[in-house]
Amino acid sequence: MASITMDHIVKQYGDGFPAVNDVSLAIDDGEFVILVGPSGCGKSTLLRMIVGLEDITSGTMRIGDEVVNDKAPRDRDLAMVFQNYALYPHLTVYENIAFPLRLQKGHFSNEEIDQRVRRASSLLELDEHLNRKPANLSGGQRQRVAMGRAIVREARAFLFDEPLSNLDAKLRGQMRTEIARLQRNLGITTVYVTHDQTEAMTLGDRVAVLRRGILQQVASPRALYEQPVNLFVAGFIGSPPMNFLAGFVDGDVLHLPIADVPMDDRLRAAIGDRELVIVGIRPDGFQDADGLAADKRARGVGFEANVDVTEWLGEVLYAYVPYQMHDEVRGKLEELDRELEGEGVRSQLVVALDAASPIGDGDVATLWFDPATIHVFDPDSGENLT
């Protein structure tokens, strides 16, 4: 096993903007890191440079202490783990796992191959299935066989490129937990590329968010959710996404289209002398004011909301509340929406309420939020000021 250290990595194809632009990222030995971002952000290119399938334009790539920029993929001791299509259908599980060892003719005795295959199959709980063919395995078992091949080679790290993207939602969920469990048990350094934010949020120790080849933020899933560094990360992480509203400053009050927020020291320091900011409030940042204790209610901001439609999903109630969108921020949000392949900027808040809330379609409700939890973004740079 080994750490993977990227230092100012650049990948330039032709004359356009670089596919990977000055990425520095240090992945610890045994760590599970997710590379995430919208289509074309450079995550696959970065992974391919780690494995050696793509030349590095500039920068230094290290596996452990060793610079590998000019090393052939086979000499890097890394294992790219593919889905079931990479298994040989005519070979048993045993022979599939043994395959990478047999490939190195004369290097391993039959006895050693047998020992390694059995060690891997026991780790992966595949002992009972060693004589089966891949067609007779579940998706999860096939994935384990694919990982078994990486283990017998004693690869120093696992690299996954969207391994679950072709599976249906249910199988994807099962495989996700399986991969998380295996990685934890094996403790092998793992880099996993996905554009699926559920995978990003549930699998990794840390998540690296890329946009147009540039690393935006590297943090634990929780830190990304609670402290996104900019509008892009804030809009990308979280489902349904964060609500963004124009905020106009007037003296000690921040005017939002839904309510006026008295500014405390935190907000004043964040906003500085700006007159316009973009305010971000997560759907779960709102509550039904009627359900709150009086002292809590007094600490936040209540406002009257004309609820358009509600969706009750068992564990949560989503309420959609139309409001007046200001042109000053619409352009910015439309640009962000295009990049995130969203559903189009709509002038409505999405509010996630307790499923027990009695609020229904067409109701006039009093909703509430705590100004201490709102995010404030610079409208030009998108930087999170809070």
Cβ distance to ligand ATP smaller for residue 40 or 240: 40
Cβ distance to ligand ATP smaller for residue 17 or 88: 17
Window 183 to 242, contacts with ligand ATP (CB under 6 A): 195
The Cα 69–Cα 299 span in angstroms is 56
Smallest separation, CB 289 to ligand ATP (Å): 42
Smallest separation, CB 38 to ligand ATP (Å): 7
Among 4, 5, 31, 42, binds ligand ATP (CB under 6 A): 42
Among 45, 121, 243, 310, binds ligand ATP (CB under 6 A): 45
Cβ distance to ligand ATP smaller for residue 201 or 329: 201
HSE (side-chain half, CA atoms, 13 Å) at 167: 20
Give burial (CB, 10 Å; 0-12/13-18/19+) of 9: buried
Whether omega for the bond prior to residue 240 falls within 30 degrees of 0, making it cis, is: yes
Among 43, 129, 142, 176, binds ligand ATP (CB under 6 A): 43
Among 39, 251, 294, 315, binds ligand ATP (CB under 6 A): 39
Smallest separation, CB 170 to ligand ATP (Å): 23
DSSP 8-state code for residue 355: T
Under the binding rule (CB under 6 A), the answer on residue 13 touching ligand ATP is: yes
Among 3, 7, 29, 40, binds ligand ATP (CB under 6 A): 40
Is there a contact between 326 and 257 (Cβ–Cβ < 8 Å)? Answer: yes
At residue 285, what are phi and psi to the nearest 5 degrees?
A: -80, -10
Please list, in sequence order, all residues whose beta carbon lies within 8 angstroms of the beta carbon of residue 277, skipping any fewer than 6 positions away: 246, 247, 249, 254, 271, 376, 377, 378, 379, 385
Cβ distance to ligand ATP smaller for residue 44 or 141: 44
Smallest separation, CB 73 to ligand ATP (Å): 16
Under the binding rule (CB under 6 A), the answer on residue 30 touching ligand ATP is: no
Q: Which of 142, 129, 171, 3 is closest to 82 using CA atoms?
A: 142
State whether residue 9 is helix, strand or coil.
Answer: strand
Q: Which residues bind ligand ATP (CB under 6 A)?
A: 13, 19, 37, 39-45, 195
